[in-house]
Amino acid sequence: MKPQPIPQRSTLVSQTIALLERGMKEGRWAAQLPSQSELCLHFAISRTTLRLALQALQRRGKIQVSQGCPAIILRRSHAGVTAPTISRVVLVLPEPLWCLRPATGNWAGELRTWVERAGMEFVLSEGGNHYRAQPTAHLEKLIQSHPNSSWVVFGSNQPMQAWFVARGLPVIHVGAVFPGIEIPSIEYDHAEIAQHAAAKLVAAGHEHTAVLLQRTGSAADATTCEAFAANREPGAARPLVLEHDGSLAQIESRLRHFARLSPRPTALFVTKSHAIPAVLTILPRLGMEIPRDLSVICREDDPFLGYLVPAIARYSSDSSAIARKLGIALRRLACGQALKITHDRIMPRFLAGQSVGPVAR
């Protein structure tokens, strides 16, 4: 009997290699492959076939295989050396997520979903020491605990932004960037919002205005005040700025001071939505009705504002837009591309409400 050649698995192995290479090239898996059990189930192949395919890809310098861990995807850098791609995305927040606005939670949740679908780890670093005036030691400790990461930083101060630039880390900032800081950013267009609000108030006849500003330490504080003042009528007084730290005690103190002024501003631009309930409850007790005696516009929107009477004029944003833009930028990083220094600004939609009226005579 003529001997028969032993059947080879090369065809199935080759097909598996091709499918894995295609998935990596198309960005289906950005940082690491799924577990071997998941891949075997997905491709309906045996563990032996998969291991042969993974070994071949490792010899080609496409992946790095370690015992008991998912295979790390490798890419070729500009210097021609193969190196691991980012394996995780770290989102750095100034406070615990539950303390921040719902809109922040929305885009953070969508970002987490995108990161995990891309095969990367998502890490949430919440609050405190990283946002201090001298954050170096705390930030060094943070990056040492999360090597090979890309960073998304929300609402940082100037020292924090300067530190990330100096370290040359792959970082995207969500929020306003300070002058002279070259870092990619995505933010709501605070200058455009403030100018638009000022124009609305001028059109209603308001020449004497004020800003109820929460000090956050971000670049948006100065940007908002300057842009709001820039759109006033020629000869009109510069808007009064009432600063507070976000606490009810300070908000009430500033509003009581505001009510005692003579002459008193006829319109108020509020930067933070959580100050609006205080405006609507404290000022009427001091004899000021909205909008009869005072017109009010809020720079932000939150779901609870839709339940207040009168309806507050405000700027409603699509938080999903931030998640989408972050996803596009992180996809470029995952594919080995450098981030361009761009400042992507989003202009929210103005909701007119019922809180802006003519100047009382």
> Is 322:106 a contact under the CB 8 Å cutoff?
no
* Mean pLDDT, the chain, integer: 87
- The rounded distance, in Å, linking the Cα atoms of 169 and 122 is 17
Torsion over CA: 84, 85, 88, 92 (sign): positive
pLDDT average, residue stretch 340-355: 92
Is the pLDDT at 261 greater than 90? The verdict is yes
> Of 35, 54, 75, at which residue does a domain stop?
75
- Residue 197: inside a domain: yes
Does residue 183 share a domain with residue 195?
no
- Residue 150: inside a domain: yes
Does residue 261 share a domain with residue 122?
no
Does residue 128 share a domain with residue 56?
no
Does residue 285 share a domain with residue 255?
yes
| pLDDT value of position 10 | 55
Is the pLDDT at 361 greater than 80? The verdict is no
- Residue 218: inside a domain: yes
- The rounded distance, in Å, linking the Cα atoms of 149 and 90 is 7
- Residue 353: inside a domain: no
In tens, the pLDDT along 326-336 reads: 988 887 777 66
Q: How confident is the model at residue 76 (pLDDT cuts 50, 70, 90)?
A: low
pLDDT average, residue stretch 31-52: 86
- The rounded distance, in Å, linking the Cα atoms of 206 and 238 is 12
In tens, the pLDDT along 5-22 reads: 444 445 888 889 988 988
- The rounded distance, in Å, linking the Cα atoms of 49 and 51 is 6
**Token pair belonging to 361:** 């005579």
Does residue 14 share a domain with residue 105?
no
Least confident interval from 74-83, 128-137, 322-331: 74-83
Does residue 300 share a domain with residue 199?
yes
Does residue 311 share a domain with residue 207?
yes
CATH of the domain at 220: 3.40.50.2300
Does residue 115 share a domain with residue 99?
yes
- Residue 51: inside a domain: yes
* % of the chain at pLDDT higher than 90: 52
Does residue 287 share a domain with residue 197?
yes
| pLDDT value of position 170 | 87
> Of 75, 99, 129, at which residue does a domain stop?
75
DSSP assignment of 129-158: GGGSSS-HHHHHHHHHHS-SEEEEEES--H
Total tally of structural domains belonging to the chain: 3
- Residue 17: inside a domain: yes
Which range among 8-12, 132-136, 275-279, 339-343 has the greatest average pLDDT? 275-279
- Residue 355: inside a domain: no
| pLDDT value of position 214 | 96
pLDDT average, residue stretch 176-188: 91
pLDDT average, residue stretch 257-270: 95
Is the pLDDT at 61 greater than 50? The verdict is yes
CB-based contacts of 54: which residues, under 8 Å, 6+ apart? 20, 33, 36, 63, 65, 71
- The rounded distance, in Å, linking the Cα atoms of 5 and 89 is 50
Is the pLDDT at 95 greater than 60? The verdict is yes
> Is 90:149 a contact under the CB 8 Å cutoff?
yes
Q: Which runs of consecutive H residues, i.e. helices, occur in the chain?
A: 10-25, 36-43, 47-59, 102-117, 136-145, 158-167, 190-203, 220-230, 248-260, 276-285, 319-334
Is the pLDDT at 339 greater than 80? The verdict is no
Whether the predicted model's global pTM rises above the 0.95 cut:
no
Query: pLDDT higher for 248 or 31?
Result: 248
Strands 295-298 and 313-316 come out as: parallel
Select from 223, 144, 145, 236 the least CA-distant residue to 187: 223
| Rg value, the chain, Cα | 27
| pLDDT value of position 127 | 77
Does residue 323 share a domain with residue 184?
yes
Which range among 44-53, 204-213, 321-330 has the greatest average pLDDT? 204-213
> Of 47, 75, 103, at which residue does a domain stop?
75
| pLDDT value of position 336 | 65
| pLDDT value of position 69 | 67
- Residue 251: inside a domain: yes
Does residue 308 share a domain with residue 211?
yes
CATH of the domain at 71: 1.10.10.10
Does residue 160 share a domain with residue 302?
no
Domain encompassing residue 22: 10-75
Is the pLDDT at 63 greater than 80? The verdict is yes
Q: How confident is the model at residue 109 (pLDDT cuts 50, 70, 90)?
A: very high
